[in-house]
Amino acid sequence: MQTALRTSLPDTELATRANFAPHARVVREERPVQTSGLPLSIRGLRKSYGDNEVLRGIDLHIPAGQFVAIVGKSGCGKSTLLRLIAGLEKFDAGSISLGDAVKPEDIRVMFQEPRLLPWARVLSNVEVGLGRDRASSDAHSRAEKALTEVGLTDKRDQWPSILSGGQKQRVALARALVSRPRVLAFDEPLGALDALTRISMQRLLERVWRDQGFTAILVTHDVAEAVALADRVLVIEEGRIAHDVVVNTARPRQRGSAELAGLEGSILNHLLSADDRT
Amino acid sequence: MSLIDSVSLPRSLRLPRVDGLVQWIVPLAIIAIWQVASVTGFVPTRVLPAPSDVLLAGWKLLLSGELARNIWVSFWRASIGFLIGGSIGFAFGLANGLSQLSSKLTDTTLQMVRNVPHLALIPLVILWFGIDESAKLFLVALGVFFPIYLNTLHGIRTVDPQLIEMGRIYGMTDGELFRRVIFPGALPSIVVGIRFALGIMWLTLIVAETIAASSGLGYMAMQAREFMLIDVVVLSILIYALLGKLADSASRVLERLTLSWHPAYWKR
Ligand SMILES: Nc1ncnc2c1ncn2[C@@H]1O[C@H](COP(=O)(O)OP(=O)(O)OP(=O)(O)O)[C@@H](O)[C@H]1O
Ligand SMILES: [Mg+2]
């Protein structure tokens, strides 16, 4: 069963938004102009741990460059799906295809924990992200560029332990970005951050996604975050994709707008009603 | 262990500037009291000679060249024994930390041997090697082996698996993974092992030289005991203490050099 919720923006809404933040209304395209992203096709994907059937047939197509959010109850298999996509684990049945021949550097994952090497300076941590290109002569300059993108140039020679949680996560983002990945998978990357840092990180994620045009897959507990960032929100229930919700709202999006709140409400309802049934 | 005692005090609790001197107040006071007690005859010199006498004895031995020779011999034994035992312990720690097979093959055996106090082997070692150099080197190496082995193994096994997974995701080869993730992650534990091992190194050497040697500090002390030269006995003990302190300082320098990234080693 797949439901598509499409909502269009009422004119009155547009007007109030324009009054609210006149400078923020830069007209941009819905999708990045030229996408470097890879399309992702998943057919009949199954995965179990012992008797625990976690994924029971996932069918999914993600067009190149789309920003997809995945939500669902805790333990429903979101992380498992992400790990399968990233090739960190083997699946039992089905297929995952990522278009043309992919290099390992094309897919990057970001976790809830930054996973920085405490004994390497910030810049070397970013260089780790270059994969096999680590030894190349432009490694330094590429890492520096990635640090600039996340706004942490001044921290390049610091040890990670002096950074704040949000800064560490930005370094992790720079490390993920430095190889110019074509698919970027996030497993609750902002889960451990405070509300304000979270919002600025969400903006950063959206910006780099727009600039670089990778295909983004974001697992999150926060439905508001999902509707604020994604083109499309997938709800996983009982090992399948139970709902596939398209978010058509133009970007940049107004956080807390009635439209997004409405979408958020209806997705939460799906999640809660599933909870009642069990 | 070393991590706990190196947690720095809050700024307000520290005396500014005199930091380096403060730690010497108590030892100097003890020596002063000791001197006074000896000179006034409160402590008979038969029991404990005055510090000035010990110093004098040291000066004489120094002039005769005996002191330098014995210190050198002991120092040489300690270092070579440490190098041998330490590198074997490190190698086994690496192998068993990295390879399941190696661990299954040898770990149980090593853990069993560990429960034998190595000094209990002295009679056997004397039978095997007599009292020549190899006996002392063997004992020191054996004593040093276990702390380094155990701490290397523990360090490698407790490297954050999430970091290892990260390394793999980012395409590190086995060699790179070891160099960039596993070894640096295990280093704090290895350094703790080295500090323990340095303590054991001196202890073993003192005992071994006291029981079976014809040179070295321990031998010097035993000879002095035979001739009732109590000032030389006390001198040897003090030199052991100094050498022990020196080894400890060396390991602290090592800590600072290799663990500069670790917040516990900052601001000291
Ligand atoms: N390595 C593993 N071995 C055994 N069971 C596992 C393993 N990894 C995950 N599971 C199980 O698979 C199920 C799904 O786990 P997963 O981590 O994908 O959930 P999730 O949706 O990410 O949950 P959360 O939102 O809490 O992160 C859980 O029941 C979990 O216990
Ligand atoms: Mg999860």
Interval B75-113: pLDDT, tens: 999 999 999 999 999 999 999 999 999 999 999 999 898
Domain residue ranges of chain A, discontinuous segments joined by +: 122-179
DSSP label of B118 = G
A111–B181 C-beta distance less than 8 A: no
Is B30 domain-assigned? no
Q: Is B214 exposed, middle or buried (0-12, 13-18, 19+ CB in 10 A)?
A: exposed
CA A36, distance to chain mean position in Å, is 16
Is B13 domain-assigned? no
The number of distinct structural domains making up chain B is: 1
| Contact (CB, 8 A) for A37 and A66 | yes
Is B218 domain-assigned? yes
pLDDT band at A254 (very low <50, low <70, confident <90, very high): confident
Mutate-to-test residue for ligand 1 from A51, A74, A78, A89, highest number of ligand atoms within 8 A of CB: A78
Is B257 domain-assigned? yes
**What three-state secondary structure class fits B186?**
helix
A115–B261 C-beta distance less than 8 A: no
* pTM for this predicted structure: 0.81
Residues within 8 A of B (CB atoms), A 175-194 only: 175
The chain B residue lying nearest A133, using CA atoms, is: B171
The 10 Å Cβ neighbour count of residue A1 is 8
| Contact (CB, 8 A) for B208 and B122 | yes
The alpha carbon of A80 and the centre of ligand 2 are apart by a number of angstroms equal to 7
The per-residue pLDDT for A67 is 96
Buried residues in B249-258 as b, exposed as e (16+ CB within 10 A):
eebbeebeeb
The per-residue pLDDT for A173 is 96
A159 close contact with B: CB closer than 8 A: yes
The per-residue pLDDT for B56 is 92
Lowest mean pLDDT among A1-10, A114-123, A165-174: A1-10
The per-residue pLDDT for A84 is 94
B170–A131 C-beta distance less than 8 A: yes
d(CA A252, CA B22): 62
The per-residue pLDDT for A26 is 39
| Contact (CB, 8 A) for B121 and B142 | yes
A235 close contact with B: CB closer than 8 A: no
C-alpha dihedral (B123, B128, B133, B139), degrees to nearest 10:
-50
Rounded to 10 deg, the angle between the B66-98 and B217-226 helix axes is 130
A141 or A1, which is more confident: A141
The per-residue pLDDT for A6 is 37
- Per the structure, the complete domain to which residue B246 belongs is given by 50-265
Name the strand (E) or helix (H) holding A110: strand A107-110
The per-residue pLDDT for B17 is 58
What tens digit of pLDDT does each residue of B223-261 get?
998 898 899 999 998 898 888 888 889 888 988 888 989
Contacts of B167 in chain A (CB under 8 A): 128
pLDDT band at A267 (very low <50, low <70, confident <90, very high): very high
The per-residue pLDDT for B267 is 62
The alpha carbon of A52 and the centre of ligand 1 are apart by a number of angstroms equal to 10
Contacts of B181 in chain A (CB under 8 A): 117
pLDDT band at A212 (very low <50, low <70, confident <90, very high): very high
> What average pLDDT does the structure give for chain A?
85
Lowest mean pLDDT among A105-109, A203-207, A249-253, B16-20: B16-20
What tens digit of pLDDT does each residue of B51-68 get?
999 999 999 999 999 899
The 10 Å Cβ neighbour count of residue A175 is 28
Mutate-to-test residue for ligand 1 from A45, A47, A48, A49, highest number of ligand atoms within 8 A of CB: A49
Residues within 8 A of B (CB atoms), A 68-107 only: 86, 88, 104-105
Is B2 domain-assigned? no
The per-residue pLDDT for A23 is 38
Contacts of B170 in chain A (CB under 8 A): 128-129, 131, 175
Residues within 8 A of B (CB atoms), A 2-41 only: none
d(CA B171, CA A176): 12
The per-residue pLDDT for B141 is 96
Give me the CATH number covering residue B102.
1.10.3720.10
Contacts of A86 in chain B (CB under 8 A): 169
